Amino acid sequence: MLSHLVLACGDVSLAAFVRFSADAIKAARENLLKGCTVVSDVSALTTALDQTRLTHLDCQQATLLDNPHIDTVADAERTLWQNDSWHQKLSDLADGNIWVIGYSPSVLMKLCEIIENRGRQPALVIGLPIGFSHAPAAKRRLMQLKIPYLTTEGALGGGLLSR
């Protein structure tokens, strides 16, 4: 898993910033083999996932912000703040799914809030939003939860690492 992240960004120094829970790899394997749903924060990330493998594993896909024109962190965050209909969709998809968040720190922060306050239990959260302001705080919050996770410390991240 770590080698895939390093190859995706082309920088071996990323390895020093990657953090994952002890049960992250096991949770990924078990839930993918059970045919779980993989939920992405934006369409650009959903389309970048290995469609052939997910189909073979009988995994479904869902996108929180299902708009193909959202392809930057700024676009994702702006869309989130202009329309709050995604809150219910996030809450409905929180349990039992693998979450792949590569663009929006606000989505990661809201997912963490739902896990903490409503006792929701995702199968795994891959939280890799990029950014200097909210992203590091969202990732720190994720690492404090008692759920399987993979993330990076600090501002490093982005949609390409999340694939």
- Angstrom distance (rounded) from CA 71 to CA 140: 24
- Angstrom distance (rounded) from CA 42 to CA 28: 20
Q: How confident is the model at residue 13 (pLDDT cuts 50, 70, 90)?
A: low
The answer to whether 102 touches 160, Cβ cutoff 8 Å, is yes
- Angstrom distance (rounded) from CA 38 to CA 93: 10
pLDDT digits (tens, 9 = 90+) for 57-70: 999 999 988 888 78
Mean pLDDT calculated for residue range 120-144: 91
Q: How confident is the model at residue 100 (pLDDT cuts 50, 70, 90)?
A: very high
In the predicted structure, residue 39 carries a pLDDT above the cut 80: yes
Helix (H) or strand (E) holding 62: strand 60-65
The answer to whether 108 touches 115, Cβ cutoff 8 Å, is no
Reduce the DSSP state of residue 113 to 3 states and report it: helix
Name the burial class of residue 117, with classes exposed (0-12), middle (13-18) and buried (19+) by CB atoms within 10 angstroms of its CB: exposed
Name the burial class of residue 162, with classes exposed (0-12), middle (13-18) and buried (19+) by CB atoms within 10 angstroms of its CB: buried
Domain ranges in the chain are 19-162
CATH architecture of 19-162: 3-Layer(aba) Sandwich (3.40)
In the predicted structure, residue 6 carries a pLDDT above the cut 80: no
Give me the pLDDT at residue 77, please: 80
In the predicted structure, residue 158 carries a pLDDT above the cut 80: no
Mean pLDDT calculated for residue range 26-54: 93
Average pLDDT, the chain: 86
Q: What is the pTM of this model?
A: 0.88
DSSP annotation of 38 reads E
Mean pLDDT calculated for residue range 81-91: 82
Give me the pLDDT at residue 35, please: 95
In the predicted structure, residue 163 carries a pLDDT above the cut 80: no
- Angstrom distance (rounded) from CA 160 to CA 12: 15
